[in-house]
Chain A
């Protein structure tokens, strides 16, 4: 414990300190003590507000819990503010320019592919991590090239592999996929098209045939696609949708007589907002997730009791506690906070720079035991991030909609990372060559740490 300084100040020292204090007050970029700031480019109005309020609500609820329960991370208070983007790229970039000037920025979490893409060069220049949990560029998994970008838990290729592994398990083994027919119904956008080559690769590897069908944005009409699907008679349909496309897919499937339990949704087709509007047509529908839904996990119960009990909860509707997007926000909060905690262990228990927090993310290793200690056992499995692997080997599980709630119907499944890694590296190295990026050497960096 340090002793308080009781020496009387000389006039000279006092003048010097006064001058320094005055100068510091004039410096806008000076970091405030003991605060770590999360700028939130949130979207609470507009077409994607339902997802935005859930995710950012969960994220803020977890930060509030850490502040209220623990007094922050090792005494460093967590702060945040929101800038409304309406999910529009130009607004997201504008928010970035505005929010980045506040001291102590820990990480960016826009939950938007478009905004994240637009920020990649900026975060590299400003040396602050960009977190794209469950989404983002697949090749940003390669941290040797994308030093400041972290598609934590799941990138689109791992998602595709996880879905195929699940279908294989349902059929009694991956070898049973031979001769099966799978249709991928994807959103007509760069996001939707990103997995086209990987499904082709997986089809070749496991011997199933794949047909990939595009639904034009926003996806509120799918009659022709589903009539074609009915004619194809696939064994499964993978739904790679977004927004209104998802309930319309389920309703139109019912309309043409395709069973819901043969439709497997991707990670952006797995929320309550996707199934409730479809009514009975969604019963039996199954979707992939990195975090289970429900409010029975200790961390959720603590949030309900400590945060909402004190009237500080972020969701207007308490019934949404434990929903898919809310739980994703909470898991994202856990990952961000733990990265700060890990970085503090190395750099000191103080406000960290963005680059120091980046180091924390690159050493974010939460095994099932640590996840349990955080009150999140069963909520998500584990994460193991490294310099080379910014995704962190997240496991996936599958939930089935029973008409009222999601029910977990699988174990935690690992995607086929060994198959995917060469494709990811090919793409990331091409990006490095195109942009003149020096590829990092993980072994050398680990040795220097």
Chain B
């Protein structure tokens, strides 16, 4: 049935989009509080997944591997803040972006140096068998990933609204000078936000690692997150989710229904076409804050 097939493609696309959102959220956290587009998010994701799986393969219980990986991500976040971003404070955004590009190469190299180049399988205990719902096949693993993404967004929302440090994040995001004036420590908040991005990288790394295997290609998933950010806005978690859903659906529908007429293989770039088109209409994305400057 054609409508069933259409629904499968659409639902599959939406669920794939959630996976992109998981990566995009890491970008948003950093951008929101420091205005830095952190290109190293993919490398962090690779490092987190590789560290976890390497520790687990050495016989550590899962909880211990997760705790140690979180500790490693915290350390990396603090190191980046202390050695790269703090010395570059007040530099133009392009300088900070280039710095994160350099950081991504360092992290990728360090990950392979530390844990080797082998490809690892990662079994989270979630079967990736198709579930039939109303005649439509849906991946059980993708549903699980969507639930994890939903839980993470809920947790982040609560964190930002109801915790002292979360409110600090928001204050810094709104106005760094005002935040400083009321006694907030920018250094501490930036370290905390890089740690939070590391946690998001671990969650995304585990889910993507279970899907692709834990290997170098994990760092390339950032390429999937960029159009999501353009569409949803660089500073909105809700935007990352909605942007991911749109990108996932557009990619899959275009590949299936447009691809055959143009030789196929359009999935890789069609999301960027959509993002570019969107930029022309709404430069700050669907949910991004419009910059207002006094002139």
Chain A interface (Cβ < 8 Å from any Cβ of B): 44-50, 52-53, 188, 213-218, 220-221, 223-225, 227-228, 231, 243-244, 247-248, 251, 254-257, 272-273, 276-279, 281, 316-317, 320
Contacts of A256 in B (CB 8 A): 130, 137
Interchain CB contact under 8 A, A227 and B216? no
Q: How far is the CA of A224 from the CA of B14 in the complex (A)?
A: 12
Q: Are A254 and B128 within 8 A (Cβ)?
A: yes
8 A-B pairs with CB atoms under 8 Å apart are A46-B112, A220-B220, A221-B16, A247-B213, A248-B212, A255-B130, A273-B215, A276-B119
Partner of B265, one of A216, A255, A276: A216
Please tell me if the beta carbons of B121 and A277 are within 8 angstroms of each other in the complex.
yes
Residues of B within 8 A of A46 (CB): 112, 216
Residue of B nearest to A48 (CB): B216
Given A254-B128, A317-B118: 9 more A-B contacts, CB < 8 Å: A45-B117, A47-B215, A216-B266, A224-B9, A247-B212, A254-B129, A256-B130, A273-B119, A317-B116
With CB as the reference atom, state the residue of chain B lying closest to A243: B217
Interface residues of B (CB under 8 A from A): 5, 8-9, 12-13, 16, 109, 112-113, 116-123, 128-130, 137, 139, 141-142, 211-217, 220-221, 224, 251-253, 255-256, 259, 263-269
Q: Which 6 A-B pairs have the closest CB atoms?
A: A277-B213, A216-B268, A214-B265, A49-B117, A244-B217, A224-B255
Q: Closest CB of chain B to A197's CB: distance in Å?
A: 14
A224 and B120 form a contact (CB under 8 A): no
Closest CB in chain B relative to A110 CB, distance in Å? 18
A224 pairs with B265, CB closer than 8 A: no
Chain A residues near B251 (CB, 8 Å)?
221, 224
Taking CB atoms, residues of chain B closer than 8 Å to A276 are: 119-121, 213
* Residues in chain B near residue A228, CB distance under 8 A: 256
Residues of B contacting A215 in the complex (Cβ-Cβ under 8 angstroms): 265
- Using A45-B109, A225-B255, A255-B139 as known contacts, say yes or no to A220 and B212 having CB atoms under 8 A apart: yes
Residue of A nearest to B111 (CB): A45
CB-CB nearest in chain B for A319: B118
Question: Is the CB–CB distance between A50 and B130 below 8 Å?
Answer: no
- Of all chain B residues, the one with the shortest Cβ separation from A228 is B256
- The distance in angstroms between the C-alpha atoms of A216 and B259, with both chains bound, is 11
Chain B residue nearest to A46 (CB atoms) is B216
The listed residue with most B CB atoms (<10 A of its CB), out of A215, A220, A228, A279, is A220
Query: Contacts A214-B264, A228-B256 hold; do A244 and B116 have CB atoms under 8 A apart?
Result: no
Output the least CB separation between B251 and chain A (Å).
7
Chain A, residue nearest B122 (CB)? A277
B128 and A255: CB pair below 8 A? Answer: yes
CB distance B213 to A213 under 8 Å? Answer: no
* B215 and A244 form a contact (CB under 8 A): yes
Set A44, A216, A244: member contacting B213, Cβ < 8 A: A244
Q: Please, which residue of chain B has its CB at the minimum distance from the CB of A247?
A: B213
Most chain A CB inside 10 Å of its own CB: which residue of B12, B16, B109, B113:
B12
User: B12 and A224: CB pair below 8 A?
Assistant: yes
Quick one: closest B residue to A317, CB to CB?
A: B118
Q: How far is the CB of B48 from chain A (nearest CB, A)?
A: 17
A216-B269, A223-B13, A224-B256 are known contacts. Are A49 and B216 too (CB-CB below 8 A)? yes
A251 near B128 with CB under 8 A, answer: yes
Residue of A nearest to B12 (CB): A223
Give Cα distance in the complex from A414 to B15, angstroms: 44
A216–B220 Cα gap in the complex (Å)? 13
Q: Which B residues lie within 8 Å of A244 (CB)?
A: 212-213, 215, 217, 220
Residue from B9, B113, B119 within 8 A of A227 (CB atoms): B9
Residues of chain A contacted by B123 (CB below 8 angstroms): 279
Q: Which residue of A lies closest to B216 (CB)?
A: A47
Complex: chain B residue closest to A276, CB-CB: B121
Question: In the docked arrangement, what's the CA distance between A213 and B213, Å?
Answer: 23
The smallest beta-carbon distance between A284 and chain B, in angstroms, is: 15
Contacts of B13 in A (CB 8 A): 223-224
Cβ-closest chain B residue relative to A275: B121
Query: What residues of chain B lie closer than 8 Å to A50, measured between beta carbons?
Result: 117-119, 215
Option from B212, B215, B221, B268 in Cβ contact (under 8 Å) with A217: B268
Known: A45-B117, A257-B137. A227 touches B8 (CB 8 A): yes
A279-B141 Cα distance, complex, nearest whole Å: 14
Report the bound CA distance from A411 to B143 in whole Å. 43
Alpha-carbon distance A61/B275, docked complex (angstroms): 50
Residues of chain B with a CB closer than 8 A to A243's CB: 217
* A221 CA / B211 CA spacing, docked (Å): 10
Given A255-B128, A279-B123, A317-B118: A223 and B16 interface contact (C-beta under 8 Å): yes
Partner of A47, one of B128, B217, B255: B217
Minimum distance in angstroms from B265 CB to a CB of chain A: 3
B222: min CB distance to chain A, Å: 11
The distance in angstroms between the C-alpha atoms of A47 and B218, with both chains bound, is 9
Which partner residue on chain B sits nearest A215 by CB separation? B265
Asked whether, in the complex, the Cβ of B121 is within 8 Å of the Cβ of A218, the reply is no
| Residue among B220, B265, B267 with the highest chain A CB neighbour number at 10 A | B265
* Residues of B contacting A231 in the complex (Cβ-Cβ under 8 angstroms): 5
- Expressed in whole angstroms, the Cα–Cα distance for A49 and B117 within the complex equals 6
Question: Do B217 and A220 touch (CB < 8 A)?
Answer: yes
